[in-house]
Chains A and B, each alone.
Chain A
Amino acid sequence: MLSVSTTCPFCACGCGLYLLAEPRELAGVAPSETHPVSSGRLCARGWGAHEAALWGNRVKKPLINKHGTLEPTSWEDALDCVARRMTGLIKAGKPIGVLGSARATNEENYLVCKLARAGLHTNNVDSCFNRLCAPLLAGLEDVCGENVPSACIDDIERSQAILLTEGDLARTHPRAASSVLKAVEGGARLITLGYLRTQMARIASLHLETAPGNEGEVIDRLLAAVLNLRLDDPTWVAQHCNGLDELRRAIGSTRLTDEASQAAEWLARAERAVILMAPPIGHPNQARRDAAALATVAALTGHLEKPGSGLLPLLPRSNARGACDMGVTQGYLPGHQPICDPPAQQRLRDLWGQQLASADGLDAESLLKSVSGLIVLADDPPSVLPIGQRAMAALAKIEFLAVLDSFDTSTSRMAHAVLPIACFAETEGTITNMEGRVQETHAATVPPGEARPGWQVLAGLCARFGVGVSYNSAGDVLNEIGLAAPQYARREQRMPDKVWGGQAVQGLNGRKYNLRAAGVASLPTDDRPTLLVRDEVFDWGSDPLISYSPTLSRDSQSQRKLFPKGFVEIGKPYADELGIPVGRQVRLTSVTGQAVLPIRLRPGLKSGVLVVPFAFRDHVAQVLGTDGVTAVRLEQA
C-alpha cells in the first residue's frame, strides 16, 4: 500500500492529500493533517481525486488523423507531424496560436509559453480561464501596483470581519468556505455581496444584495461609507494613497446606506479582516473596475498593510495562478512581465536563445476563432469558454489542431494530432495555488499505455522548433522557470515551509495605493424588466476530472439527462408574482434573440432575475449575445 503526498488537482485552494495506490492502480485518497492549506480537511472533490485517473477515458497512444480518423502512430511520427504542419502554416503566413491550461503544471505551462513565443514566434498564448482571472488580477494591480494576494486561506479563520463577493464559495472553493464557516462560528462578522442568497449569504451577518452585473453600485456605496470613516484621518490617507480627489469625485453622488455604513464599520474596526473576491460577472472592463474598487476598500481600511489581513482573489482552477505566472496570458511573459518590457525581453532572449515575437497576441476566444494552427495543452475550450458550442464550430475550422491531454475530450476528438500525457496522479511538477503557494505534485502511479509526462512531450516539440531544451526531469524545468520568472527564483530559500512548498504571500507594506471606484453599469430597459444572468460558477461537470469520476459526476450527469434542453432558474416570489408555472417551458426574448426552455425554482434568487447554469449556456446563446447579463422579456411558452 503506497501513500504519495501530492496537491489536490481541482480548485485553486491547493489542499494537500495522499494518493493511495495498490501496485500500479490508484485506490483512494487520504487527507494530509498538517498541510498548511488544508490541515486535514478535504472537500468531496478532494476525496474523489483518484477517480478520474482510474475511470477516465484515457488517451494511451499518440494519434494522427489519417483519412479522416485518428490512428495510432509512434511518438516520433506524431511530434514530427505537429512540427511539420505548424511550420507549414507559419511559412504560408497563416496565424497560429497555443493554449496553455489552468489544469496543467507550471512546468508544462512554462514550456507551452516558451514553445509559442520562442519556437513559433507568436504571442497568441492564453488559457481559457484567463477571461475570469485577468480582470480580477488587473483590478488588483491597478490599485496595488502588483497582482499578488495579500492574505492566505489560513488568515480567514482568524479574521474578525470577512467581506465576500459571492459567486458560490461553498461550491467553488470549499476549503476557503470552511474557514469562513469556522470564523463565523467563532464570532466573525461575515458580509456577503452578490445577487444570490447562497449558503454563505444565509450564515452572513449582513448580505449586501446587488443587481447582477451591477455589483459596482453596491461596492461604491461600501467605498463611500469606508471613505466617510477614513476621512477622520486625512494624513493617513494622504500618506498611503494616491487619487483621493478623483475617488471623491467618482463616488460623490453615491448614497450612503445604513447597511453599507455597518459593513464599513465592521471592516474598519476589525484588527484582522480578509476580503475574498470571486471573479465578477458582467463585462471584463466592469469586472476590472469592481476588483479595483474592492482593493480600494481593502487599502482604505488599512487591511492591505496588516499581517493576517488582506485581499485574496478567488481564482477558479488549481493552477490558474501558475498559468498566469508562467506567461500563459497574451500580454505577459513569465513572471508577469509585460511583453513590451525591454529588460524582460532581453533576459528571455538570452535564456531561450531565440528572438521573441513582438506583435500583440490574442486572447483564448479570439485566438480560437482566427488561427489556422493551434496547439492545445490539457483543455477543452468548448466546455470552459462562455461561447460553448460556438467554440466547437471554431475548432472545426482550424486547419491543424494538436492536443496534448491525458483525457479524451471534445477537443481531442477533433484534433489532427493527439499527444497523450500523464495526468496529475502520474507526473512530477508544481502548481501555484491562489495564495501564490508553489506546491509539488507527485506521481503515485504510472501513465497508461505510451503516455508521457507533459514536460517531456513539450520539450520534444520545443526542440523541433529550434528552441534549446536540456531537461532530465520536471525539476530541471522548474530551475529554468526560476531564471525566467524572478518570483520563482531561489524558491527553496524563500519558502519557510520546505516540506510543503512555499508560502508566497508577501505583505504590501510601504507602498502607495491608487484609489479607484467601480462605477455603475447600465440597467434593464422597461419593456424587458427581467435580467437573465449566466451563472459564472464554473461547471465542474464538464471538467474531465469530474465528468470521468463515478462519484463526483452523478449530479451533473443526472441534470443533463433530465434536461436535454437545459433550463433557467427563477426565485419563488418572482415566479408567483408573474404567475409563471414552474417546471413548464418559458420564452425568453432579448434584443439579440429568443429561446424556449424549461424553468425551475432556485432558492434564494431575488425578484427580477433569472439564472442559467453555465452548463446550459448554449441553450440561451441567442438571448445572451456576448454578455453574461442581459435584459429579457419572460413569458409562458
Chain B
Amino acid sequence: MQPITLTLQKRDGTQWLEKLLSLGEVIAPVHGSGEDVIFSTPACADAVLWDFVNPLHPPKRIVLPQTDPLVKIKHNGQGHEVEPIYDDAPRILFNARSCDAKGIAFLTRMHEMEPADESYLRRALRLTVISLACTAPCPLGFCVCTNSGPFLSDGYDVQLTDLGENYLVEVASQKGHATVSCAPNLFRPATESEIAQRKRLEAEAKNHFGEETCHFASAMRRVSTGRVSDALWQRISDWCLECGACNFVCPTCYCFSVKDLGRNGGWVRCRMWDSCQYSAFTLEASGHNPRPERKERMKRRFFHKVSAQYYQRDAMVGCVGCGRCIKACLGTTSMPAVVSAIRKGKWNE
C-alpha cells in the first residue's frame, strides 16, 4: 500500500487506544513500581504513557519471549508425537520507541532467513508496531550512530510524532492501516505544514543527543581484520561480571538454548534466552568448552555485533543505539565502552 500521513488530535489519543484495545492485546509503556516504566498490558487506555524515557526492558519479548514454547511432545506408547505450538494472537505494540521498532525489524529479518523460523514469524507477522518518534533523544541513547532513530524511515507500521497539539500519524503498512481505519473519524489527512514540522523536529532532535556515542566504522575495521589484541580482551574481561544483561536488554540479541519442560504427562520444548557471555553457553556435552575464558566470549560477542561479515549479512551493526546496556551492565563493558576500547586499543588507561 501507499504510505499515508494523517493527523490525530492529542485529546483523541485515549479514544483511539480504546478502539485498539478491542482489536487485540496491546502492549505499551505503563507505570510499574516506584518510578519504573515498563512495557506491559495496560489496564485501560488512560494507563498508557505518552511522555516517558524508554523502559530498560525492551519489548522484544513480545516476539521473542524469554521462555518460548515451541512444540508439545507426547509419548504415545510406540514413539513420540510432536505438535508445533504457534502463537497467532494479534498484538499491537503501542508507543514503542524508534530503536525498539528497528530492533524488531532486525529480528524479523534474521528469523526470515532460510531456514525461516515459523514459530517466530507467526507471532511477529501478527504484531503491529506503532512507534512514537523521539523528539527529545533519551539521555543514554546514540541511535543516530546506528541509523535507528530518533525518527524512522522504515521498520514501523505506524509512526507517531508529537507535534504539540496533534500527533502526526505516518501509516506504512496494511497492518498499520487497520489500526487507523477502525476509528476513521479520529483522523484527518496531515497538512503540508504538519509534515514540514515533523521534518524540522527530526532535524532538531539530532542536535540534542547526549554524550554517548559509538564509532562503529573504525571498530569494525579493527575487529574484522583481527587487530584487537588478546591482551586487550583480557583487560576488558576483568570488568565484566557475566550477568548477560547486555544480551537480554539488547533489542537485537536473539541467542537461545532449548530445554524441555514437563507438563501434563508430556513435555513442552522451550526456546529460552541465553547469553553468549555465560561460560556454559558453548559448553558441549563432552564437557569441552571451545570458549572457556571470558575474554574469548567477549571477543566473539563484539565480532558478532560489529564485524564487517555480519554487517554485510544484516545491513546494520547488531546495535540500535538504545543505550540500555550502559544502564543494565553490572560491569563497565557496555557497547559504547567496548567499541571505544577497540577503536583506541586501550581500556581504562
Contact with A along B6-46 (1 / 0, CB 8 A): 00000000000000000001010000111111101100000
Task: Tell me whether B287 and A32 are in contact (CB under 8 A).
Answer: no
Asked if A41 is at the interface (CB within 8 A of a chain B CB), the reply is yes
CB proximity to A under 8 Å, residues B215-262: 238-239, 241-245, 248-249, 257, 259, 261
> Which residues of A are found within 8 Å of B243, using beta-carbon distances?
41-44, 46-47, 174
Closest residue of chain B to A170 (Cβ to Cβ) is B241
A555 touches B283 (CB 8 A): yes
Q: Chain B residues near A561 (CB, 8 Å)?
A: 287
Is B290 an interface residue, CB under 8 A from the partner?
Answer: no
A554 to B315 Cα, complex, angstroms: 34
Q: Contacts A27-B67, A54-B67, A175-B330; is A558 near B287 (CB within 8 Å)?
A: yes
Contacts of B331 in A (CB 8 A): 178, 181
CB of B34 within 8 A of CB of A31, answer: no
Chain A residues with CB under 8 A of B61: 20, 27-28
- B241 to chain A: which residues have CB within 8 Å? 43, 170, 174, 177-178, 181
0/1 per residue, B58-78, Cβ < 8 Å to A? Answer: 000100011100000000000
The CA of A65 and the CA of B274, in the complex, are separated in Å by 40
Q: How far is the CA of A555 from the CA of B278 in the complex (A)?
A: 9
Closest Cβ of chain B: how far from A502's Cβ, in Å?
A: 13
Of B34, B40, B238, B348, which is within 8 A of A3 by CB?
B40
Which residue on A lies nearest to B333, using beta carbons? A181
Closest residue of chain B to A178 (Cβ to Cβ) is B330
A542 to B218 CA separation, bound complex (whole angstroms) = 46
From known contacts A34-B35, A558-B287, A561-B287, infer whether A185 and B348 are also in contact, taking CB-CB under 8 Å.
yes
Report the nearest A residue to B259, measured CB to CB.
A550
Given contacts A1-B27, A41-B330, contact A31 B56 (CB under 8 A): yes
| Closest chain B residue to A202, Cβ basis | B238
Give the residues in chain A near B245, CB-CB below 8 Å.
Answer: 31, 41-42, 47
User: What are 29 contact pairs spanning A and B, CB under 8 A?
Assistant: A1-B40, A3-B32, A5-B36, A18-B57, A26-B67, A30-B38, A31-B56, A31-B57, A31-B249, A33-B37, A34-B34, A35-B36, A41-B243, A41-B328, A41-B329, A43-B241, A43-B330, A47-B245, A50-B66, A55-B261, A170-B241, A174-B241, A178-B331, A181-B331, A185-B332, A499-B33, A551-B272, A551-B278, A558-B287
Compute how far the CA of A275 lies from the CA of B214 in the bound complex, rounded to whole angstroms.
36
Q: Which residues of A contact B257 (CB under 8 A)?
A: 550-551
CB of B236, distance to nearest CB on chain A (Å): 11
Complex Cα gap A2–B42 (Å): 10
B131 touches A (CB below 8 Å) = no
Name the distance in Å between B144's Cβ and chain A's nearest Cβ. 23
Within residues 46 to 91 of chain A, which ones have a CB less than 8 A from any CB in chain B?
46-47, 50, 54-55
- Which of these, A44, A50, A175, contacts B67 with CB under 8 Å? A50
A185 and B34 form a contact (CB under 8 A): no
Interface status of B275 (Cβ within 8 A of chain A): yes
**CA A185 to CA B56, docked complex, whole Å:** 23
B278 and A28 within 8 A (CB): no
Q: Specify which chain A residues have a CB less than 8 angstroms from the CB of B238 in the assembled complex.
A: 199, 202-203
Q: Are A34 and B330 in contact (CB under 8 A)?
A: no
A551 to B274, CA, bound (A): 7
* B36 & A34 in contact (Cβ 8 Å cutoff): yes
A330 to B38, CA, bound (A): 44
The 8 A CB mask of A7-51 against B (1 = contact, 0 = none) is: 000000000101010100111111111110000111110110010
Closest chain B residue to A603, Cβ basis: B293
**Could you tell me if A174 and B330 are in contact, using CB atoms closer than 8 angstroms?**
yes
Within 8 A of B (CB), among A557-598: 558, 561-562
Indicate if the CB atoms of A44 and B242 lie closer than 8 Å: yes
Across-interface contacts of B332 in A (CB, < 8 A): 181-182, 185
A110 part of interface (Cβ distance < 8 Å): no
Question: Any chain A CB within 8 A of the CB of B327?
Answer: yes
A-B residue pairs, 4 tightest by C-beta? A28-B66, A554-B280, A30-B57, A5-B33
Q: Is the CB of A32 within 8 A of B248?
A: no
Please, how many angstroms separate the alpha-carbon atoms of A551 and B261 in the complex? Answer: 13
Shortest Cβ distance from B297 into chain A, in angstroms?
13
User: How many residue pairs bridge A and B at CB < 8 Å?
Assistant: 135
B197 contacts the other chain (Cβ, under 8 Å)? no
Determine if A488 is an interface residue (Cβ-Cβ < 8 Å).
no
Chain B residues contacting A33 (CB-CB under 8 Å) are 35-37, 55-56, 327
Q: How far, in whole Å, are A175 and B34 apart by their CA atoms in the complex?
A: 20
| Contact-residue bracket for chain B | 35 or more
Report the nearest A residue to B53, measured CB to CB: A33
Given A28-B65, A54-B67, A199-B238, A44 and B275 contact (CB-CB distance below 8 Å): yes
CB contact list, B285-334 vs A, under 8 A = 287, 327-332
A314 to B242, CA, bound (A): 20
Complex CA distance for A524 and B331, rounded to whole angstroms:
38
Query: Chain A residues with Cβ under 8 A from B120's Cβ?
Result: none
Query: Do B66 and A32 touch across chains, with their CB atoms under 8 A apart?
Result: no
Determine how close the nearest CB of chain B comes to the CB of A34; give it in whole angstroms.
4
Q: Which of A175, A182, A550 has the most CB of B within 10 A?
A: A550
Is B340 interfacial (CB 8 A cutoff)? no
From A22, A31, A555, residue with most partner B Cβ within 10 Å: A31
Nearest-CB residue, chain A, relative to B262: A55
CB distance from A235 to the nearest CB of B (A): 42
A42 to B34 CA separation, bound complex (whole angstroms): 17
Bound-state CA distance A177–B330 (Å) is: 8
- CB closest chain-B residue, reference A32: B36
Contact A500 B275, beta carbon cutoff 8 Å: no
B146: interface (CB < 8 Å): no
Name the CB-closest residue of A to B280. Answer: A554
Q: Give, as a whole number of angstroms, the nearest-CB distance from B39 to chain A.
A: 8
Closest-CB distance, B22 to chain A (whole angstroms): 18
B166 at the interface (CB under 8 A from A): no
A2 and B39 CA atoms in complex are apart in Å by 10
Q: What residues of A have a CB within 8 angstroms of the CB of B348 in the complex?
A: 185
Check B36–A29 contact: CB distance below 8 A.
no
Q: Which listed residue, B27, B56, B244, touches A47 by the CB 8 Å rule?
A: B244
Q: How far is the CA of A42 from the CA of B61 in the complex (A)?
A: 17
Smallest CB gap from A556: residue in B: B280
Cβ of B294 to closest chain A Cβ, rounded Å: 9
User: Is A44 within 8 A of B27, CB to CB?
Assistant: no
CB of A500 within 8 A of CB of B66, answer no
Flag if A40 contacts B56 (CB, 8 Å).
Answer: yes
Give Cα A30–Cα B32 distance, bound, in whole angstroms. 11
Q: Are B65 and A54 within 8 A (Cβ)?
A: no
B67 proximity list for chain A (CB < 8 A): 25-28, 50, 54
List, in ascending order, chain B residues with CB within 8 A of A20's CB.
61, 66
Contact A32 B32 (CB under 8 A): yes
Question: Is B273 in the interface zone, CB < 8 Å from A?
Answer: yes
Q: Is there a chain A Cβ closer than 8 Å to B279's Cβ?
A: yes
Q: A46-B243, A561-B287 are in contact. List 12 more A-B contacts (CB 8 A).
A: A1-B41, A3-B38, A18-B33, A30-B38, A32-B36, A34-B35, A50-B66, A175-B330, A177-B330, A178-B241, A558-B280, A558-B283
Q: How many whole Å from A613's CB to the nearest CB in chain B?
A: 15
A residues 187-215 with Cβ under 8 Å of B? 199, 202-203
- Docked Cα-Cα span, A28 to B248, in Å, equals 11
For the complex, give the distance between the alpha carbons of A296 and B86 in Å. Answer: 63
- Min CB gap A328→B, angstroms: 29
With CB as the reference atom, state the residue of chain A lying closest to B65.
A27
A185 touching B328 by the CB < 8 A rule?
no
Give Cα A20–Cα B56 distance, bound, in whole angstroms.
Answer: 14
Known pairs A27-B65, A28-B61, A202-B238; A40 contacts B272 (CB<8 A): no
Chain B CB within 10 Å, residue with most, of A3, A22, A46, A178: A3
* Interface pair B66/A29, CB less than 8 Å apart: yes
Give the docked Cα–Cα distance between A226 and B67 (Å).
53
Chain B residues contacting A499 (CB-CB under 8 Å) are 33-34
- Find chain A residues with CB under 8 A from B287 CB: 558, 561-562
With both beta carbons as reference points, the residue of chain B lying nearest to A45 in the complex is identified as B243
Q: How far is the CA of A175 from the CA of B330 in the complex (A)?
A: 7
Can you list, as one digit per residue, whether each of B115-153 has a CB less than 8 Å from chain A (1) or not (0)? 000000000000000000000000000000000000000
Q: With the chains together, A32 CA to B40 CA distance in Å? A: 13
